[in-house]
Every structure is written in C-alpha cells, then in structure tokens.
Amino acid sequence: MDKIQLPSCPLCKLFLQPKESIKTKLYYPSRIEDLKNVNFCIIECEDCKIPMVVSAEHLDYISDDIWRNSNYQCRKLFGRNVDFRTKQNKLHDHSHYHVIFPNGY
C-alpha cells in the first residue's frame, strides 16, 4: 500500500525529495537513499536543532509500531535516558516528535 504523502508538506518532502529537502543531520536511517524503505526518520529539527522523529506518512498520529521502533532507535542513538516531546508546535497535521535529553543536548 502506498504511503499518504503531500507534496506541499515540508515533512513529507523529507521522504519525497530527500536530497533537496534535508538540510540538517540525518540520524536514521544513516543514508538518504534508505528513506524510501522506512516508516520514519530521525533528523535534526531545522528550528530547534535537536533530533526529532518524523513519520513517513502524512497522518496526525503515530502508530504503535512506529512509536516502539522509533523509541528503540532513539535510545540506541542517544542513550536510554532520553524522553520525547509529542506536542507539535508548528506542524499539527503531520506526526512528529522531538527527542528531549535529561541534561540538555
């Protein structure tokens, strides 16, 4: 089944046009070419400069499967003590959340 993606959404563009859209650090997957094969990515937020998880689909929720897998990847990358801010300040209709570090980043 095809993913729901909107060409006008800046977070969808990370998956639709990654080479043109990614201007910050991509943590997961480690290669831009692999974005077409994943359900989420972990990328540095352009605004606040901390890692955030972005769903590959333009939905306003994150599935349980993506939540579990992205949490696992974040803790693998950044340590077991990270937490997550799920409140979406700027883009409300495309699910994403920021990684919060206990002692800052």
Residue-wise DSSP of 8-66: T-HHHHHHHSHHHH--S-EEESSSGGGGGG-SEEEEE-TTT-SEEEEESS--SS--HHH
The residue ranking higher by pLDDT, 89 or 84, is 84
pTM here?
Answer: 0.89
Q: What is the pLDDT of residue 103?
A: 76
CA 14, 17, 18, 19 dihedral sign is negative
- pLDDT tens digit string along 18-51? 888 899 999 999 999 999 899 999 999 998 899 9
Burial class of residue 19 in the structure, from the number of CB atoms within 10 Å of its CB (0-12 exposed, 13-18 middle, 19+ buried): exposed
Q: Which residue has the tokens 């729901």?
A: 4
Query: Which of 84, 83, 69 lies closest to 28 in space, CA to CA?
Result: 69
C-alpha neighbours within 13 Å on the C-beta side of residue 93: 8
Question: How far, in Å, CA of 48 to CA of 98, rounded?
Answer: 9
Q: What is the pLDDT of residue 28?
A: 96
* pLDDT higher than 60, residue 1: no
- In this structure, which amino acid lies at residue 85? R
Mean pLDDT of 60-67: 89
Query: What are the structural domain ranges in the chain?
Result: 10-100
CATH superfamily of 10-100: HIT-like (3.30.428.10)
Q: What is the pLDDT of residue 61?
A: 85
